[in-house]
Amino acid sequence: MSASDQPILRVRNLATAFDTDGGRVTAVDGVSFDVPRGKTLGIVGESGCGKSVTAMSIMRLLPRPSGVILGGEVLLDGTDLLQLSLDEMRKVRGKRVSMIFQEPMTALNPVHRIGRQLSEVFLLHEKISEKEAWNRSIEMLAKVGIPAPEIRVGEFPHQLSGGMRQRVVIAMALALKPSLVIADEPTTALDVTIQAQILELMKELQAEMGMSIVLITHDLGVIAEMCDEVVVMYAGRVAERGSADVIFNNPRHLYTRGLLDSIPRLGGKRKATLQTIPGMVPGLAEMPVGARFAPRSPHPKAPAYIASPAYQNKRPELLQIAPNHWVEDEEVVRVIKQEVSQ
Amino acid sequence: MVSPAPTTANGHPPASKPLLEIRGLKMHFPVKGGVLMRAQKQCKAVDGVDLHVNEGETLGLVGESGCGKSTLGKCVVRLNKITGGQVTFDGTDITQLGRSALKPYRKDIQMIFQDPAESLNPRHTIGNLLAEPFIIHGLLSAKERDIKVAELLEKVGLQASAADRFPFEFSGGQRQRIGIARAIALNPRLIVCDEPVSALDVSVQSQILNLLVDLQREMRLSYIFIAHNLAVVKHISDRIAVMYLGKIVELAPADELFANPLHAYTKALISAIPEPVPGGGRAQRILLQGDVPSPIDPPEGCAFAYRSWLPTSDDQKRQPGTFREVTPGHWVELHPGTVEDYEKYL
Ligand SMILES: Nc1ncnc2c1ncn2[C@@H]1O[C@H](COP(=O)(O)OP(=O)(O)OP(=O)(O)O)[C@@H](O)[C@H]1O
Ligand SMILES: Nc1ncnc2c1ncn2[C@@H]1O[C@H](COP(=O)(O)OP(=O)(O)OP(=O)(O)O)[C@@H](O)[C@H]1O
Ligand SMILES: [Mg+2]
Ligand SMILES: [Mg+2]
């Protein structure tokens, strides 16, 4: 295997906890996945399943002192980011891996001109003059499709629409041509027509610059549109992962299946009863060691499993069921075979 | 025998009178600005809307952020004092009614919000929150209220024991159920649902949509259903109105709108939906240019023409379009910038 076939990012058994008044709670519990070079990997799952905490752990941006990485590896081109000093990590951020947040205003400083904020990115990492940095900023704004960039560069964030602000944030994230971009719900706050523009822009820039993308969203439509690989998270763990094709067309975890079945489809019958996933995600403090989806599983053996010691003590591994398809190794949370062939 | 039916701009003359009729509705907000902070401009959030809702029907309302959907909904439940036009409910013009005359209509027309937390006082138990509508309207004894509260909780799929707990003890989906329970407490006839599932995860979203459909069948409810997720709106709506910058630009039965969208904006909206099918089932994505315009100083004439890919001259842009019924029940704003070969429909 040549270097260019190697995944750009390998996350191995990442575990992250928070110290709260009620004690330590584990939000991400042994997550592993690979991001192929130049491709897009999507992370999907219900609110609170640990998508953002996974991203913040990779970026080493967890709130301090409450957020603690308990273990694991985050290998960016072979370098374990978790082993870097804060200073070294600061140099990696922006330059080799950068992040795009849901709400552009959290990434932008309201009192500084767009140009100053973009220039800072260049000035922090490169030995260039302020004038040069300003010009590079204009170039970057043009690249993300902002009309009249030489005027916009001198404006403040509030003078821009939400979609334009998100373009600026993307410009900042891509300014130093990082090899990996982590985008946490980059279009959730935007209208569908603006979302379409931003997703299109990300695809174009990826084709041009070749960066790899980790795209976090709860929107399965966005995942299908953008991603080559998909990680489905449930309650802090990976339930299933694989190519977008297998995840959408041959899901093997009951949770993935449940998610796909519960969305109304444009082609569906109006007012027909939608599938639902019964029950709720357990709270962080009451997570079992065993398969966490079991209490919501319709599998006939699920009640027996929940009553067994395995549910309390035995952590299921990920089982590889095809060259690029892994699913939680516990019978009662997997799609029952006969059902699939129907 | 039949006298000439009143032709409204919002649909073909209904067989029976619609439950709700909106005519020429305008909601303009004064915008403060300038050195003196005087109201100088108007934000034309809703600018001349005609719509109706029949009994037992769901009217979907879609459009981009800021186009006036929530404002329209609030005008219907009288949370806004309207600038112009008429809202007729069950034959009575409720826009002119004073406080006491309005009271029975407040009971009949309810609203569900995106974030139920906003409408649920965090210091009250669920029991108190659900009993409140009865107390306000002076209905039922304390004992009867308790029974009713238990019934309501059951109806929305919650345990009766929830009555003793507080809103923060519930998940987002459960809080939305409580919001729905409160909205249906007084047996309303119309509920304005403003993004009721937008904040929810898909698995919870489907539970709430099923609940709304079941309640509609059971109680013969009418809904105005506002959402930005077109697949959700299509799922629950009988007819759908597409709103752009304070105006309705297309109105059609739900299946017809998706099978045969005419307005360029509707086409763009539909093509922008990311479908959960890898590789995409979409024929061609239409990318609109630019941003959603502001309802303060809206562009003159046909607002959408300025963002449309259909070629128009500046002169044409300055002319407004005309809202016409082009096939039975299918209305659209006709303008060279909105509908391809628009002349064919004139
Ligand atoms: N600073 C914090 N302190 C304590 N717990 C936290 C903190 N940040 C996150 N958590 C918890 O960690 C879990 C995972 O949160 P995370 O933000 O990763 O969810 P998510 O999958 O991104 O959800 P969403 O789709 O809502 O963004 C949640 O239960 C959350 O409450
Ligand atoms: N009380 C108010 N005072 C002044 N302007 C208002 C008021 N309420 C709404 N507006 C303005 O009216 C316009 C329409 O707002 P509205 O909330 O109805 O949009 P919407 O279609 O519901 O958008 P969204 O999808 O973001 O909820 C916006 O420009 C908004 O800023
Ligand atoms: Mg998140
Ligand atoms: Mg709104």
Query: What's the pLDDT at B39?
Result: 62
pLDDT band at A342 (very low <50, low <70, confident <90, very high): very low
In a shared domain, residues A49 and A127: no
Is B20-108+188-345 assigned to CATH 3.40.50.300? yes
pLDDT band at B282 (very low <50, low <70, confident <90, very high): low
In a shared domain, residues A85 and A196: yes
Q: Which of A265, A284, A314 delimits the end of a domain?
A: A265
B124 closest CA partner among B171, B180, B182, B74: B182
Output the six-digit token pair for A3: 């270097």
Q: Which of A265, A288, A312 delimits the end of a domain?
A: A265
Query: What's the pLDDT at B8?
Result: 44
- Segments making up each domain of chain B, as ranges: 20-108+188-345
pLDDT at A27 over 90: yes
Mean pLDDT of A69-86: 97
In a shared domain, residues A157 and A45: no
Range of the domain at A26: 1-96+178-265
Residues for chain B: how many in total?
A: 346
Q: pLDDT for B82-111, tens place per residue?
A: 999 999 999 999 988 888 898 889 899 999
In a shared domain, residues A14 and A115: no
Q: Which of A159, A177, A195 delimits the end of a domain?
A: A177
Q: Where are the alpha helices (DSSP H) in A175-314?
A: 192-209, 220-226, 244-249, 254-262, 302-307, 309-313
In a shared domain, residues A261 and A225: yes
Chain mean pLDDT for chain B: 89
Q: Could you tell which of A14, A49, A70, A99 is best to mutate to test the pocket of ligand 1, judged by most ligand atoms within 8 Å of the CB?
A: A49
Residue of A146, A220, A230, A276 to mutate, interface with B, max B Cβ within 10 Å = A276
Q: Whose CA is nearest to atom 12 of ligand 2?
A: B45
Range in A209-213, A287-291, A296-300, B33-37 the model is least confident about: B33-37
Which residues are CB-neighbours of A286 under 8 A, at least 6 positions away? none
In a shared domain, residues A240 and A190: yes
- Tell me, yes or no, whether A271 lies in a domain: no
- Tell me, yes or no, whether A5 lies in a domain: yes
In a shared domain, residues A254 and A196: yes
What is the atom index within ligand 2 of the atom nearest the CA of B294?
Answer: 29
Is B234's CB within 8 Å of A220's CB? no
Torsion of CA B59, B62, B68, B70, to 10 degrees: 60
pLDDT band at A341 (very low <50, low <70, confident <90, very high): very low
Chain mean pLDDT for chain A: 92
Q: Identify which has the larger pLDDT, B116 or A135.
A: A135
pLDDT at A87 over 50: yes
ipTM at complex level? 0.87
A181 closest CA partner among A57, A51, A41: A41
pLDDT band at B279 (very low <50, low <70, confident <90, very high): confident
Alpha-carbon distance B284 to nearest alpha carbon in chain A (angstroms): 12
Range in A104-113, A269-278, A314-323 the model is least confident about: A104-113
Do A212 and A39 meet the contact criterion of CB atoms below 8 Å apart? yes
In a shared domain, residues A80 and A4: yes
pLDDT at A179 over 90: yes
Query: What's the pLDDT at A72?
Result: 98
Q: Which pTM was predicted?
A: 0.90
- Tell me, yes or no, whether A63 lies in a domain: yes
Whole-Å CA distances, A176 to A137, A169, A182, A290, B267: 11, 13, 14, 43, 37
Least CB-CB distance to B269: which of A193, A263, A274?
A193
In a shared domain, residues A261 and A182: yes
In a shared domain, residues A200 and A59: yes
In a shared domain, residues A29 and A89: yes
In a shared domain, residues A48 and A65: yes
| Ligand 1 close to Cβ of residue A17 (< 6 A) | no
Q: pLDDT for B192-214, tens place per residue?
A: 999 999 888 888 899 999 999 99
Query: What's the pLDDT at B34?
Result: 61
Is A46's CB within 8 Å of B201's CB? yes
pLDDT band at A242 (very low <50, low <70, confident <90, very high): very high
pLDDT at A148 over 70: yes
Query: What's the pLDDT at B10?
Result: 47
Residue with the two structure tokens 């410009």: A171
Q: pLDDT for A124-145, tens place per residue?
A: 989 999 999 999 999 999 988 8
- Tell me, yes or no, whether A309 lies in a domain: no
pLDDT at B1 over 70: no
Q: pLDDT for B16-57, tens place per residue?
A: 789 999 999 999 998 876 666 666 788 999 999 999 999 999
Backbone angles phi, psi at B240, to 5 degrees: -130, 135
What is the atom index within ligand 1 of the atom nearest the CA of A233?
Answer: 21
**Continuous segment of H or E residues that includes residue A71:** strand A67-76
pLDDT at A158 over 60: yes
Range in A18-32, B25-39, B241-255 the model is least confident about: B25-39
The CATH number covering residue A190 comes to 3.40.50.300
**Continuous segment of H or E residues that includes residue B48:** strand B38-53
B229 closest CA partner among B86, B115, B60, B110: B60
Query: What's the pLDDT at A338?
Result: 58
